Structures are given as C-alpha cells and as structure tokens.
Amino acid sequence: MIAAAIWRAETRLCESPTPTFGKTWICVREEIDESSVLYAASRFGYHETLKALSAAALSSHIEEFGEFARPYA
C-alpha cells in the first residue's frame, strides 16, 4: 500500500525514472502503545515529514505530497 503510493508520488515528483526512483524515501512504523501505531515517511530533498496513525492514511498523505511538494533549495 505505502510502496504503491510512493511509486505514484514519484511519477509526479520526477520527470523520468532514475536509478534511485522510489528509493529516496524513509518510512517508519512505531508502536506508541498497545493500541496505537505511528507511521511516518520522509523523502530526501524535501522538508516535510508525513505522519499518520494508519498505513492507509500515510499512503493518502504520500499521494497528496506528490501533487504539491516542492524540494528545498
């Protein structure tokens, strides 16, 4: 789910596939307590850290990020 969202975001962020296409992301899943999990993702070259309480929500954030993200200078 998250990998597919990253692939779709990358097609918007990059003009064409590169050797690192889709590999510039760091994704973390952290159990907060017995009933809560935090999902986070960040892409090299961008300031944003995307966070959500489910994999589906993080996937949505990643797809939205692909539409509006601007790299830092």
pLDDT of 64 strictly over 90 = yes
| Residue 70: predicted pLDDT | 82
What integer best gives the mean pLDDT of the chain?
88
d(CA 61, CA 54): 11
CA distance 16 to 18: 6
Burial of 14 (0-12, 13-18, 19+ CB in 10 A): middle
User: Domains of the chain: which residue ranges?
Assistant: 2-68
pLDDT for 40 equals: 98
**Across 16-26, average pLDDT:** 69
Q: What pLDDT does residue 24 have?
A: 83
